[in-house]
C-alpha cells in the first residue's frame, strides 16, 4: 500500500532503492509497535520453566499479569530496540527489490542481445530466481541486525529492578561472553526462517502475476465488447 502511494497510481513508475527502504521502514515501524507486547510475552514464557510458580502461561494471562505488575511500560520493554529492528525488514525488502530489479534488467539485456521483443509478462522471474533473491535478502538482513535481537531478548526478560539499559546489556554481554554472543543461534534462526520467507515470496509473486494476468484479460474482453457495441 505504501509502495503504491509512492508510485502515485502509476504501476509503470519505478521506485528507487531509497524509496523501497523508506516504504519498508514505515511498514515495519507500524508492525513493531503493534506486536511488541506479544514479543515481550513470548520472551517471558520461554525464559521461565513450566514448574516455576511464577511461570507465565498463555498470551492473555501474561499480558494482563505484566500490565498489572509493570504497567503499560512493561508491555513495551525493548520497544526502542524493536524500532531499531525495523532496519531488518527495511534491509530485507530494499535488498529484495534491488536484486529483483537487477535480475529483470539482466533478462532484458539478454532479450535485446538476441533480438527478442520485450513483453510486459517477460518481467516475471522464475520461481528459482524468486527463491534465491528472497532468501539472499533475508539472510543479509538477519546477519546485519541479529545482535539487536539478542540485546532485546535480554532486556525484555530482565526484571524491572535490574535497571538494564541498552548500553549496559551490550557492555556486559561483550565483556562476559565476547562478540560471538551477539550471534548466538544465528545459524539455527536462519534455517528456521528462510524456508518460510522463500515460500511466502514465491507465492506472493505468483499471485501478483496471476491477478495481473486476469486483470489484463478482463480489460481486453471489455475492450472487445465496447468495440462490438
Residue 11 has pLDDT above 80, yes or no: no
Which of 38-52, 125-139, 191-205 is predicted least confidently?
38-52
Q: Are 125 and 205 in contact (CB under 8 A)?
A: yes
The CATH code that applies to domain 2-228 is 1.50.40.10
Q: Which residues of 69-82 are buried (b: 16+ CB within 10 A; e: fewer)?
A: eeeeebbbbbbebb
Q: What are 96-151's pLDDT values in tens digits? A: 989 999 999 999 999 999 999 988 888 999 999 999 999 999 999 998 888 888 88
Task: Choose from 130-139, 144-153, 154-163, 180-189 the range with maximum mean pLDDT.
Answer: 130-139
C-alpha distance from residue 59 to each of 37, 43, 48, 54, 66 (Å): 10, 11, 14, 15, 11
Residues 6+ apart with CB under 8 A from 141: 87, 88, 89, 91, 92, 95
Which of 38-42, 110-114, 159-163 is predicted least confidently?
159-163
State which H helix or E strand residue 116 sits in: none
Q: What number is the average pLDDT over the span 24-51?
A: 79
Residues 6+ apart with CB under 8 A from 135: 194, 197, 198
Residue 229 has pLDDT above 70, yes or no: no
Residue matched to cell numbers 503493534: 34
Q: What number is the average pLDDT over the span 6-15?
A: 55
Residue of higher predicted confidence among 131 and 153:
131
Q: What does the pLDDT read at residue 76?
A: 84
Could you tell me the residue ranges of all domains in the chain?
A: 2-228
Q: What number is the average pLDDT over the span 205-218?
A: 87
Residue 71 has pLDDT above 80, yes or no: yes
Amino acid at each position: 500500500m505504501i509502495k503504491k502511494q509512492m508510485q502515485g497510481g502509476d504501476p509503470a513508475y519505478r521506485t528507487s532503492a531509497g524509496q523501497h527502504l523508506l516504504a519498508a521502514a514505515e511498514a515495519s515501524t507500524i508492525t513493531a509497535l503493534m506486536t511488541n507486547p506479544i514479543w515481550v510475552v513470548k520472551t517471558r514464557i520461554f525464559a521461565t520453566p513450566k514448574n516455576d510458580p511464577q511461570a507465565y502461561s498463555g498470551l492473555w494471562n501474561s499480558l494482563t499479569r505484566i500490565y498489572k505488575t509493570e504497567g503499560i511500560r512493561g508491555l513495551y520493554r525493548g520497544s526502542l530496540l524493536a524500532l531499531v529492528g525495523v532496519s531488518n525488514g527495511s534491509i530485507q525488502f530494499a535488498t529484495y527489490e534491488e536484486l529483483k530489479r537487477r535480475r529483470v534488467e539482466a533478462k532484458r539485456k539478454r532479450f535485446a542481445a538476441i533480438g527478442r521483443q520485450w513483453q510486459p509478462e517477460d518481467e516475471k522471474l522464475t520461481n528459482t530466481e524468486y527463491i534465491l533473491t528472497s532468501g539472499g535478502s533475508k539472510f543479509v538482513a538477519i546477519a546485519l541486525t541479529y545482535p539487536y535481537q539478542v540485546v532485546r531478548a535480554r532486556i525484555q526478560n530482565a526484571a524491572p529492578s535490574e535497571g538494564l539499559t541498552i548500553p549496559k546489556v551490550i557492555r556486559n554481554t561483550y565483556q562476559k561472553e565476547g562478540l560471538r554472543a551477539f550471534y548466538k543461534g544465528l545459524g539455527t534462526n536462519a534455517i528456521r526462517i528462510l524456508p518460510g520467507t522463500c515460500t511466502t515470496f514465491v507465492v506472493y509473486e505468483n499471485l501478483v502475476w496471476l491477478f495481473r494476468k486476469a486483470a489484463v484479460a478482463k480489460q481486453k474482453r471489455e475492450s472487445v465488447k465496447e468495440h462490438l457495441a
